[in-house]
């Protein structure tokens, strides 16, 4: 069993991966589209969930009783422009569409809404905001953790610093006019 420590975990305490991206079997129509995090060790049964990136909330879905993924929130990553979908949360998130988030922002609470067998976070990563098998990426790769069921994920307790704001560097143009005048004067003196 693998163990890793990361600073951009969706849970700021210990978790265990109970299903990973790409698994197949009777629980999934084609393949498992995300990574499932469940409480581990001394982690509370329904821990708070945090954003794994700096980004913007682009959608939130409240459980209606038929929604397979339960209460959800979708965040667009400001760096990659890809989308993170948090699923099966207990209560609808306190955030609103358009809210900015970072790795210290609580986005919800781990739950068991929708089609589940227990309390966990199903975390998806994709190139589109819509739910489409062809757009899914492996969230374990993006988080830097092994894509292996049973992996224990520890949170190292630090919040990574915000990426620096890019600054526009104004290019200075070569003063051709001044240079041309200088050459002209030099040629006149000769």
Among 87, 152, 153, which Cα is nearest to 122's?
A: 87
Q: Record the tokens describing residue 54, joined without a space.
A: 């700096």
| pTM attached to this predicted model | 0.79
Under 8 Å between Cβ of 151 and 1: yes
Q: 76: exposed, middle or buried (C-beta count within 10 Å: 0-12, 13-18, 19+)?
A: middle
How confident is the prediction along the chain (190 residues), in pLDDT tens digits per residue? Answer: 799 999 899 999 999 999 899 887 777 677 889 999 999 999 999 999 999 999 999 999 887 665 788 899 999 999 999 999 999 999 777 899 999 999 999 999 999 988 888 999 999 999 999 888 889 999 999 999 999 999 999 998 765 555 555 555 555 665 656 666 666 666 666 5
Q: 29: exposed, middle or buried (C-beta count within 10 Å: 0-12, 13-18, 19+)?
A: exposed
Distance CA 120, CA 40 (A): 11
Do the bridges between strand 136-137 and strand 121-126 make them parallel or antiparallel, or are there none, so unpaired? antiparallel
**CATH architecture under which domain 3-159 falls:** Distorted Sandwich (2.70)
């Amino acid at each position: 069993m693998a163990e890793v420590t990361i600073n951009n975990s969706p849970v700021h305490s210990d978790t265990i991966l109970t299903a990973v991206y790409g698994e197949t079997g009777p629980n999934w129509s084609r393949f498992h589209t995300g990574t499932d995090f469940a409480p581990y060790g001394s982690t509370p049964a329904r821990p708070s969930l945090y954003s794994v990136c700096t980004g913007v909330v682009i959608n939130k879905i409240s459980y209606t009783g038929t929604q397979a993924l339960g209460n959800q929130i979708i965040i667009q990553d400001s760096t990659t422009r890809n989308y993170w979908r948090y699923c099966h949360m207990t209560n609808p998130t306190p955030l609103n569409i358009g809210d900015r988030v970072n790795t210290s922002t609580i986005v919800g609470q781990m739950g068991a809404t929708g089609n589940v067998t227990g309390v966990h976070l199903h975390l998806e990563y994709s190139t589109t905001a819509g739910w489409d098998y062809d757009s899914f990426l492996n969230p374990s790769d993006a988080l830097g953790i092994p894509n292996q069921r049973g992996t224990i994920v520890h949170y190292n307790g630090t919040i990574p610093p915000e990426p620096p704001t890019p600054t526009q560097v104004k290019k200075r143009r070569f003063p051709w006019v001044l240079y041309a005048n200088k050459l002209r004067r030099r040629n006149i003196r000769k």
